[in-house]
Amino acid sequence: MTARRTVLAEATARLREAGVASPEHDAAELLAHVLGTTRGRLVLVDEVDPPALEEYAVLVARRAGREPLQHLTGSAWFRHVELAVGPGVFVPRPETELLAGWAVERATELVDAGGAPVVVDLCTGSGAIAKAVADEVPQAVVHAVELDEAAHRWAVRNLAGTGVDLRQGDLATAFDDLAGSVDVVTCNPPYIPLDAWESVAPEARDHDPHLALFSGDDGLDAMRVLERRAALLLRPGGVVGAEHADVQGESAPAVFAATGRWTEVRDHPDLAGRARFVTARLAR
């Protein structure tokens, strides 16, 4: 038997040496996963037995190799919902919770006005935004689409039983049947320029599907497609929100402003104050 504090200290040191951004947090999460408890309840554990220690050592080594934490635990929390994640699907980031919150607020406003808002999530990936909206605004009619086959399989798993209409397809052509009837469009598109390959964290670059990461020379190819599709899907006065890279705080809104189809084009910061997502309203 080995003391919990010793186990965590050694794992934290290894993860820190490997360049993991949050070594203490990840070491604790992995140990809680192995022991079938929560990070907050680890204080109740005094010692770790040899079988658990062996399993933990394997996971710590994989995390030190920069496999995403969520791939090792098999799940990720997003707002109030839990998502199954693993190889083949983009791991949802905390920053995207702000975009989902914006969509929840817009849908809730429509519910308060007596409506049943129609929400479309393009490039749904794991289904994170769609599941969050369906969970927090049960009156909403939520649709989602994902192109990648592997990611779509994860979305099928995560959206089962939620009532979300999930389809497999391209954001550029999805939901012709909803044209002109949608209240809210959300999207977390790929937005990394192709020449930024080396700057991407290994957890994302080596494990997230590249279809979910890279988008042309300036990172805005998918944003341009989204602008055109949102304009077709939304009713007059409907709104769109899309995540972008922190360096695209001016260029992403410009994609919408340049077409003359949109009003109230605004950019929004994340909790660290970095430019994070753009919103716009389709002109009436």
Instruction: Give the residue-averaged pLDDT of 55-78.
Output: 92
Same domain assignment for residues 83 and 134: yes
- Yes or no: say if 58 and 10 are a contact pair by the CB < 8 Å rule: no
CATH number of the domain at 219, please.
Answer: 3.40.50.150
pTM: 0.85
192-244: pLDDT as tens digits: 555 444 444 554 544 445 444 444 556 688 899 999 999 999 999 999 999 99
Nearest to 10 by CA among 76, 57, 68: 57
Same domain, 162 and 57: no
The mean per-residue pLDDT over the stretch 176-191 comes to: 93
Assess if residue 72 is contained within a domain. Answer: no
Number of domains within the chain: 2
In-domain check, residue 73: no
74 domain-assigned:
no
Q: Residues annotated in the binding site, as ranges?
A: 146, 188-191
Numbered residues of the known binding site for substrate: 188-191
| Residue 205 belongs to some domain of the structure | yes
Distances in whole angstroms, Cα of residue 135 to Cα of each of 95, 132, 162, 209: 19, 5, 8, 26
What is the spatial distance between Cα 265 and Cα 267, in angstroms, rounded to a whole number?
Answer: 7
Give residue 206's pLDDT: 47
Asked if residues 264 and 234 have their Cβ atoms less than 8 Å apart, the reply is: no
Same-domain pairing of 113 and 165:
yes
Q: Which of 17, 36, 65 is the last residue of a domain?
A: 65
Q: What percent of the chain has pLDDT over 70?
A: 90
Q: Do 246 and 148 fall within a single domain?
A: yes
In a domain, 154, yes or no: yes
Residue 71 counted as domain residue: no
Domain encompassing residue 260 = 79-282
Same domain for 165 and 252, yes or no, is yes
Binding annotation for S-adenosyl-L-methionine? 146, 188
Domain boundary among 16, 37, 65: 65
If asked whether residues 144 and 241 sit together in one domain, one would say yes
Percentage of residues of the chain with pLDDT beyond 90? 75
